[in-house]
């Protein structure tokens, strides 16, 4: 089974001002003359990690990764103003122009798959193809599954911790209840809610829960941006025009090559979304990893993704 490539350092790190308010951090690694790939992290609000560079052969790829608005090293931190799907879509074009790239491969997992679809459907001529993992289409049924009802049947112990900050009378709508707390002027209320929200995802993202993953998701600084920005996007329905927009617009990108890697037992982004995207896009290739959940660091998903990037 293919394993991660050795760690590498970026050969360039920089900041790009994308609006009067927001400046985003980005970095380049690998081969400056290699095939360009833009890596879209999850969340939204998750930020980048050095391990993301290790999914690509550094001799063959020009690897661009960046912190989306409001997270990681981008500023202002945990900012919700001017932070929508379409702001991020346009940021991608600004980065592409700034780096002088004609076309690039778009690689995105979880929320990154959402953003990859939104971007490619807006700027198909900027894309060489898509590598997607853990498909998330930001539909109401997906949000209700993970944040309101369904997933609690599989992880009732973690669910008990997730619902603790929310009083009984508000539990009919966890997204709204959390949003109220995550935008509270009281920093204690914000942090309590942020950690509960973030740890819930960390507790469910792997087939076999990882204490290390849960610890990372529970760190104060990470949780603050991750929870605030995620909830902001989700209460606003991803800023999409219709609930099924990303499938309805597949016709705009059907000419592009696309490979989808999906864990069979992903409860954060259940496999039905990957399946429905593949049915709408029969030219895509769907790789189902039989012994994996959501995280791209699970062995089967890691191996599948590296096989894909090697093929390309």
Residue 3 has pLDDT above 80, yes or no: yes
pLDDT confidence of residue 15: 98
Tens digits of residue pLDDT in 155-201: 999 999 999 999 999 999 999 999 999 999 999 999 999 999 999 99
User: In this structure, what token pair is assigned to residue 71?
Assistant: 């997270």
Percent of the chain clearing pLDDT 90 (strictly above): 97
In whole angstroms, give the CA distance from residue 202 to residue 299: 17
pLDDT confidence of residue 296: 97
Tens digits of residue pLDDT in 204-221: 999 998 999 999 999 999
Length of the chain in terms of residues written:
312
Q: Quote the mean pLDDT of the chain.
A: 97
Tens digits of residue pLDDT in 94-123: 999 999 999 999 999 999 999 999 999 999
The three-class DSSP label of residue 12 is strand
| Average pLDDT of the residues in 136-148 | 98
Q: What is the pTM of this model?
A: 0.98
Residue 149 has pLDDT above 90, yes or no: no
Q: Which are the contacts of 19, defined by CB distance < 8 A and separation ≥ 6?
A: 82, 87
pLDDT band at 5 (very low <50, low <70, confident <90, very high): very high
Residue 1 has pLDDT above 80, yes or no: no
What are the structural domains, with CATH classification, of the chain? 12-139+239-311 (3.40.50.1820), 141-238 (no CATH)
The catalytic site residues sit at: 110, 266, 294
Residue 40 has pLDDT above 90, yes or no: yes
pLDDT confidence of residue 184: 98
Tens digits of residue pLDDT in 251-298: 999 999 999 999 999 999 999 999 999 999 999 999 999 999 999 999
Instruction: Give me the DSSP letters along 57-116.
Output: -TTTEEEEEEPPTTSTT-BSTT--TT-SHHHHHHHHHHHHHHTT-S-EEEEEETHHHHHH
| Average pLDDT of the residues in 293-311 | 97
In whole angstroms, give the CA distance from residue 131 to residue 307: 11
Residue 113's CB is within 10 A of a number of other CB atoms, namely 31
């Amino acid at each position: 089974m293919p394993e991660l490539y050795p760690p590498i350092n970026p050969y360039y790190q920089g900041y790009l001002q994308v609006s009067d308010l927001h400046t985003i951090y980005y970095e380049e690694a690998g081969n400056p003359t290699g095939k360009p790939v833009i890596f879209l992290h999850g969340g939204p609000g998750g930020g980048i990690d050095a391990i993301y560079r290790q999914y690509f052969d550094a001799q063959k790829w020009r690897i661009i990764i960046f912190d989306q608005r409001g997270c990681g090293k981008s500023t202002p931190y945990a900012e919700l103003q001017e932070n929508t799907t379409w702001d991020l879509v346009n940021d991608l074009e600004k980065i592409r122009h700034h780096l002088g790239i004609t076309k690039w491969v778009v690689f995105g997992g979880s929320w990154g798959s959402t953003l990859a679809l939104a971007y490619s459907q807006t700027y198909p001529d900027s894309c060489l193809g898509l590598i997607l993992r853990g498909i998330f289409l930001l539909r109401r049924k997906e949000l209700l599954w993970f944040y309101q009802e369904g997933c609690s049947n599989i992880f009732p112990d973690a669910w008990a911790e997730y619902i603790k900050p929310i009083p009984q009378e508000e539990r009919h709508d966890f997204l709204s209840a959390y949003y109220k707390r995550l935008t509270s002027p009281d920093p204690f209320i914000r942090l309590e809610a942020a950690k509960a929200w973030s740890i819930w995802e960390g507790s469910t993202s792997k087939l076999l829960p990882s204490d290390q993953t849960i610890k990372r998701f529970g760190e104060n600084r990470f949780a603050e941006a991750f929870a605030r920005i995620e909830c902001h996007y989700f209460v606003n329905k991803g800023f999409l025009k219709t609930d099924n927009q990303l499938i309805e617009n597949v016709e705009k990108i059907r000419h592009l090559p696309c490979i989808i890697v999906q864990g069979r037992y992903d409860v954060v982004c259940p496999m039905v979304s990957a399946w429905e995207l593949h049915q709408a896009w029969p030219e895509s290739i769907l790789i189902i990893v039989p012994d994996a959940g959501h995280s791209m660091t699970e062995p089967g998903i890691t191996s599948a993704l590296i096989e894909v990037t090697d093929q390309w």
